[in-house]
Structure 1
Amino acid sequence: MKDLKNKVAYITGGSKGIGYGVAQKLLEAGMRVAVSGRTLKSVKAAAAHLAKDDQVLAIESDVADHDDEKKAVQEILDKWGQLDVVLANAGVGNFAPIDEMSDKDWHQMIDTNLSGAFHTLQASVEALKKSKGYYMTLASLAGCNFFANGAGYNASKFGVVGFTQAAMLDLRKYDIKVSTIMPGSVKTHFAGNEPDSSDDWKIHPEDIGELVIDLLKMHPRTLPSKIEVRPSRPDKK
């Protein structure tokens, strides 16, 4: 995509954190961006801060609900008539030893992080075939590195990585590009963190946005299908 102006993107979990940072960068590049979240109030507030014109669409959708995602994509198509880029970003993290993890916390992660990525792609794939677009998932370095208290989160993110790589093989015959982005520590509110200056060593959300722009502008013959990204230097403690 040499010219991103007026291309249409859909970002799930776009009201804050990485999704919000990516939305900022796509808007700066002249794109039109739909952002979704589970509560319309929070998504509308984010949209109001992102842009004051008609370049942003706020959508209420729970990615764990397949029908919600189908409605979300249809709302985008009804407004702008096309869909060029999809970032399945919505995610949650519940951390506990496996013998203490609740069934509810396990399923929230699997249903949101993994099934959500599937629902978003299923809802958008026909539109992406028409636009020869780009589908991305926001995975994590936790999708290749396991750690204590992370069984549920690891399972969901390992799954996202495998799902995305297989989807890439299925969809490239339609000229749809598919990539998964696997960040390490990011300065966000994820898992109850309150970001402040002590988090400045981490990746910032807008850095992921710049990475997304780079992927979109990559020559069509080349596909970075799995991208690991981490802070350039670890925290000094």
Structure 2
Amino acid sequence: MENLQDKVALITGGSKGIGFGIAESFLKQGMKVAVTSRSLTNAEDVAKELNAKYEGKAIGIKADVRNYIDQQEAVRKTVDTFGSLDVLIANAGLGHFGSIEEITDKEWKEVIDTNLTGVFYSIKSAVDELKKSKGYFISISSLAGTNFFAGGSAYNASKFGVTGFTQAVMLDLRQNGIKVSTIMPGSVATHFNGHTPNEDDAWKIQKEDLGQLTVDLLKMPENALPSKVEIRPTTPPSK
């Protein structure tokens, strides 16, 4: 996709953080973007903000990635509005942390259903449209998808799963002309887990950095596929 003008993307969890940064980068390229959120107000407010700033066009869709019908509807609304689907970004995610003695079954289920099953529902809903466009599917995993840590059983399980799932999907879909990659960020300055980005986060990866990375992936030569990309802050604080 050397020229991204008028290409169509669907971004799950696009109302803030990494998803918002990717949406901004896509709109700067003249793309058409659908962003989803569990809140229709949040999704529509973000679309309004993006449309006021950038050349491309954005719409907001209410969808919960934990609901397969919601994801099917998000794809349908995107295609009905823009005519096609070229790029799917499976970004929606959350985290609950604590030792195995502390984490509840409800927290476990919420993390797995959102971070892992939500990615499955997203690509499952979009695969037919991506076949038509010979498009691109990108999941947002994490370095926690290869590096485990205490208190991270649910989050590690979900992100290890996303990494492995996406790589298997890459092998499933490559003969259909669909490119598939997973991005595995380290520390990112976002609102994840209730954090409010501030000046102390300047050393972290910024949402704009991940937006640029996704654009770079889309513009890779047709015969080249970075199927798994690890990205870290250049200079983290000394321990």
Please indicate the TM-score interval, normalised by the length of the shorter structure: over 0.9
181, 188, 194: which one pairs with 2:190? Answer: 188
- The equivalent of 1:59 in structure 2 is 61
Deviations 1:209-229 (A, max 9, x none): 000010000001000000000
138, 141, 150: which one pairs with 1:139? Answer: 141
Q: CA deviation at 1:42?
A: 0.9
Distance 1:60 1:157 in 2: 24
> Where does 1:192-231 land on structure 2 (aligned, <5 Å)?
192-231=194-233
Deviations 1:96-127 (A, max 9, x none): 10111011110001000000000000110000
Deviations 1:135-166 (A, max 9, x none): 00000000000000000000000000000000
Distance 1:108 1:190 in 2: 15
Q: CA deviation at 1:235?
A: 2.0
104, 121, 126: which one pairs with 1:102? Answer: 104
TM-score (norm 2): 0.97
TM-score (norm 1): 0.98
Runs of 4 or more above 6 Å deviation: none
Q: CA deviation at 1:234?
A: 0.8
- The equivalent of 1:19 in structure 2 is 19
Q: CA deviation at 1:47?
A: 1.2
Distance 2:50 2:184 in 1: 24
Distance 1:49 1:79 in 2: 18
Q: CA deviation at 1:92?
A: 0.4
- Closer/same/farther in 2, CA of residues 51 and 234 from structure 1, 3 Å limit: same
- The equivalent of 2:88 in structure 1 is 86
- The answer as to whether partners of 2:11 and 2:35 remain within 8 angstroms in 1 is yes
- The equivalent of 2:130 in structure 1 is 128
Q: CA deviation at 1:177?
A: 0.2
Distance 2:37 2:237 in 1: 31
Alignment coverage as a number of residue pairs: 237
- The equivalent of 2:28 in structure 1 is 28
- Closer/same/farther in 2, CA of residues 231 and 54 from structure 1, 3 Å limit: closer
Deviations 1:47-86 (A, max 9, x none): 1111138700100000000000000100011111100000
Distance 1:30 1:105 in 2: 39
Aligned identity (percent) is: 54
Distance 2:226 2:213 in 1: 11
Deviations 1:11-38 (A, max 9, x none): 0000000000000000000100000010
Distance 2:143 2:51 in 1: 31
Distance 2:154 2:60 in 1: 30
Distance 1:45 1:231 in 2: 30
Unpaired runs of at least 5, structure 2? none
Distance 1:224 1:59 in 2: 29
Distance 1:3 1:138 in 2: 23
Distance 2:79 2:213 in 1: 26
Q: CA deviation at 1:43?
A: 1.1
Q: Any idea what SS the aligned residue of 1:3 has?
A: coil
| 40-49 or 30-39, larger mean C-alpha shift | 40-49
Distance 1:182 1:235 in 2: 20
CA RMSD of aligned residues (A): 1.0
Q: Any idea what SS the aligned residue of 1:51 has?
A: helix
- The answer as to whether partners of 2:22 and 2:207 remain within 8 angstroms in 1 is yes
- The answer as to whether partners of 2:8 and 2:84 remain within 8 angstroms in 1 is yes
Distance 2:100 2:37 in 1: 28
Distance 1:56 1:137 in 2: 20
